[in-house]
Amino acid sequence: MASIEVGILGATGQVGQQFVALLTHHPWFRVAWLGASERSAGKPYREATAWRLPALLTDSVGRLKVQAAAPAGAPKLVFSGLDSSVAGDIEAAFAQAGHIVVSNSRNYRMEATVPLLIPEVNADHLALLAAQGAATGWKGRIVTNPNCAVVVLAMALAPLRQFGLKKTMITTLQAISGAGYPGVPSWDILGNVIPFIGGGEEEKIETETNKILGAVKSGRVENHPVTVSAAVTRVPVHNGHTGSIAVALEQQPDLDTIIDAWNSFRGKPQELGLPSAPPQPIVYLTEQNRPQPALDANRDDGMTVTVGRLRRCPVLGYKFAALGHNTIRGAAGAAILNAELMHREGLL
């Protein structure tokens, strides 16, 4: 029986719906509270949200009345899929009031005492929480997960740190669900590619990656020195961000050694058997035309990053393609995995 009550901020949005869907049969967490804007507050969730996921919306959640995004009455553990234009103040108010906020928004990701977590890659970054209260004055805590394109890059690069990561270039092909709903107008995206995503998408890829791959030393993150260059595009794909990635390494491992490093990569979630942990977080696909979002984004309930097409690159040394589900591994599923890890580490 799920015993820990949780709330969802931004519950009516694209990521919020994914939280509801993923938490419906969660063994530990039970959705007890939903928050969104004044536009939705006071309405039953089924009315306030335009449900557009294949999973059924259950009556128990569909009937919950959406609340304004204020801490009074919310459970201690709150997931956040708030629009970043409002997440800063609202998440701080919840943390101030003693809540644990497990957030998708960009607002606090780069704060020195806020963990930017991928549990397979940097579970030890939770140590930053010890100093968060003193640095911010919050009674509660904020923990974040990366931008949805960053998670694909950082997961693919993490097993390559052992070979001496020097430089990487990524061109993304990002799904329309990454833009929220209604997102990009159909007129603009159908049959088209848009070589720009607002909100500092390229800058996020070029900074968050270094923090995630960095090491905690004396209570702070020492960023990984890899140089990251990103070019982002929006493509007419429903779900799944693809990255076309090139990388320069200090060592020159053969291709099979790199593929082995990906396939054998495991982390704390697998060791602890966390409920949302995929059995193999990175899977190398040997078919020459994979990964593809339509075929591979949902692998292991959307929590696996798939990689393929590793080959030599005449410029940087190696190149490959990687793919992850943006609203699951890149958002709601990532945050739920973070909370599962925190629960097992006694931090909730």
Residues of this chain that bind ligand NAP (CB under 6 A) = 10-16, 36-37, 39-40, 69, 81-84, 86-87, 104-106, 148, 177-178, 180-181, 326-327, 330-331
In the complex, the smallest distance separating the C-beta of residue 8 from ligand NAP, rounded to whole angstroms, is 9
Residue (37 or 270) nearer to ligand NAP, CB? 37
* Tokens linked to 230: 């990103």
Closest approach of ligand NAP to the CB of residue 18, in Å: 8
- C-alpha torsion sign, points 326, 331, 332, 337: positive
**Helix or strand or coil: residue 52?**
coil
Least Å from the CB of residue 237 to ligand NAP? 12
The dihedral through the CA atoms of 71, 20, 121, 252 has a sign that is: negative
Look at residue 110 and give its three-state secondary structure.
coil
Closer to ligand NAP at the Cβ: 10 or 291? Answer: 10
Q: Which residue's CB is nearer to ligand NAP, number 107 or number 306?
A: 107
Q: How far is the CB of 219 from ligand NAP (least distance, A)?
A: 27
Q: How far apart are CA 129 and CA 139, in angstroms?
A: 11
Output 143 or 148, the one with its CB closest to ligand NAP: 148
Verify cis geometry, omega within 30 degrees of 0, for the bond prior to 291. Answer: yes
Select which of 125, 241, 325, 343 is catalytic.
241
> DSSP for 142-195?
EEE---TTHHHHHHHHGGGGGG-EEEEEEEEEB-GGGG-SS-S-HHHHTT--BS
Whole-number Å distance between alpha carbons of 297 and 157: 18
Is the Cβ of residue 49 or residue 122 nearer to ligand NAP in the bound state?
A: 49
Phi, psi dihedral angles at 198 (to 5 degrees): -75, -175
Out of 99, 125, 148, 224, pick the active-site residue: 148
Q: Catalytic residue at 125?
A: no
Question: Least distance in Å: CB of 332 to ligand NAP?
Answer: 8
**148 in catalytic set:** yes
Q: Which residues 6+ apart lie within 8 Å of 135 measured at CB?
A: 112, 113
Residues annotated as catalytic are: 148, 241
